[in-house]
Structure 1
Amino acid sequence: MRIDVITIFPEYLSPLDLSLIGKARQDGLLTVAAHDLREFAHDRHRSVDDTPFGGGAGMVMKPEPWAEALDHVVAHPDRAEGQRPRLIVPGPGGRPFTQAMARDFAREPWLVFACGRYEGIDERVYEYSRADLGLEVSVVSLGDYVLNGGEVAVLAMVEAIARLLPGVIGNADSLLEESHEDGLLEYPLYTKPRVWRDRAVPDVLLSGNHAAIAAWRHEQRLARTAARRPDLLHPAQVTVDGGLDVDIRPAVPADVPELFTLTKACWVQEAMANQRLDIPPLEEPIGVLRASLDETHTWVARHGGRIVGSVRTAVRGDDLFVSRLMVAPDLQGRGLGRRLLRLAEDTAPDGTWTVSLIAGAGSSDNLRMYRKAGYRTAPGEPAIRGTVELVKRRRG
């Protein structure tokens, strides 16, 4: 991954030479380059700010130095033909930075961070970046507070993103149960000695019963999240037809074995409905499913601790492609499929104008649900024999 940072304080980024991020840079897993915005200001004072139109306190960063700096970075000689970076602008008016967003950014080969200062950057810089440079622009907030500039946020975000790159963390399994990886906080941790200042390690952790330990840790995660961050629990709890309570979260690698089993169960039904067995979900090995978590946004729905549904999406140009929408056979017909479909549609990023999906031509129940949701048959012949390609235009 390559990361470019445009700032008036390049020396602020020196901590990225330390610890695991510094080692990743030395090992060639990560390239970080800082660019001084003042190098693109040509007056004698190398000024990058001016007073705001309309009046008001503070200063606004001028558009021309930013345009020249972005032009310079985007024209980097090592970039692949036609490659464009994703532009991230830290700011209190952006979307909150989350672990899911860190995973999303970690899939990008090239990121550019624009560190604003003063009252912010002239709005036309965002328009120029999108329209003239063809960049996807994300304004991201580190939290509900205001900093003097974007550099602190960049340090935090780069560390959160870079540690997810393959090879940066020595033991990749240590990433699976961390706080926020599946919407919950991490369970309490203990090490030697067994008793310290009259405080003993919980007996269950010494039992050798791995099932009991896993259950205890899950209970602790729920309790800790409820006590410290109840907001993380509530948005994911939904109720569908018949009072079925489900918990919908982003999928994590630990979900793959159970998700693999659910996929086979659901697509056996599809094979019967379409009278064919050559269906990719039935043929793919578990490794392909695991790799898909890095290439798509995948959600799983749990009921009673069991994965009972899932859906995934991928952006293709200005279209959001929805796939692998599935519900456990014993819970079908209760509205969970419709709920997962709405979730997928609601996560479409700015700049996507349509949502599309593919269904088996013989899957009459699925086709009925999609048409009720506003999907229509796409023009032309489907690319895959025996399927129907459906598309829905997004509103607004």
Structure 2
Amino acid sequence: MHVRRRTVLAGGAATLLAGCTPTGARISSTSASPRLVPLRLDAGHVMKVTVCLRPFRPAGPRLEAERFGETTVVHNYGHGGAGWSLGWGCAAEAAALARSGGASEFAVVGAGVIGLTTALRLIETGAKVTIYAEEFPAETRSARATGVWSPSSRIALADAAPTGFAERWEGWARASYATHLRMVGLLGDPVEFLPQYEVSDGEPGGGPPAAHDFLHIHRRVRDLQPPWRQMAAEENPFAPRETATGNGMVFNVASYADRLARLFMLRGGRMIRRSFPDRTAVLALPEAVIVNCMGYGAKAIWSDAGMVPVRGQIGWLIPQPESRYSLYYGGVNAISRRDGVVIQYYGPNEDFGYGDPNETVDRAETERALAILRQVYAT
């Protein structure tokens, strides 16, 4: 048996329903088997296709202060595919750096998840905070994220991460996870746990090795989530294909981002739409302390030549509340979130999308991914 476990996977929710299922769906008839309603995976249910450039830095996220004359800039960007997962832990560290000089008014540049969480952590200390951003939360690259707990997803390269990085990362991950847990069950379900199924594609190997040695340190926090297990044949809804299952944390990004923005405004924060053509425009802001949460935009503005875009595309299907689970098969993941079923092809290895700055939608890629997933339900 070969199951390619990906740390980027998250769960979906198995609905214990005895309702009708499409002809040809592989649903076990035993009483112990979950009654999974197959996902509707035809192109007619695609409501949009989006592309996100993950801001990858070989050395990992940049979290440090830098002086520009009388202005202090605290950098908090470059989280790769782990922005939603690590946001709260990194925000706490960035807020502490910003507050260390005694200032009481702060500018946060960027309204993605890193900007929102950092602004909230600052405002919770009694500070006056203004977010300046060209794109508001629903328009940012963060809004196009997969939405799963993936704290080590393209977080750094093994040979470029500085000494002590793994320990620092673990602190971010554990602090963030604790905050995510406090959002489980809140109105709009910004965070929830959903069962997931990883189905073997029968291939003996995991594809060609990646050319880049990405740092894999998820095992340091594997105690945070329930363990996975191999499903017995009598309970496996995808038999005879071998299947592993577990429960994973999923972020319903639309409701989560909306909640963060609302909390920020309710606590006295301001959000101003403004574009920044260059660094001079950022440094012209009136606040003496600026927190840079620009994500991939920091590459040009702050001359971070080492930052690499990692292209990721998601096809969004109309929400399917009757099929609340996640399915991984053949290099494709489907996550039935409340704001839509996200379909993502991960490619043959982690090099897929690396260094690709193209944000043009490739609908054919999504249609191929749907065709791959449909095979798992075929008789």
Asked if Structure 1 and Structure 2 have the same fold, meaning a TM-score greater than 0.5 normalized by the shorter chain, the answer is no
Q: Which has the larger radius of gyration?
A: 1
Q: TM-score, normalised by structure 1?
A: 0.18
If each structure's helix is expressed as a fraction of its own residues, which one has the higher value? 1
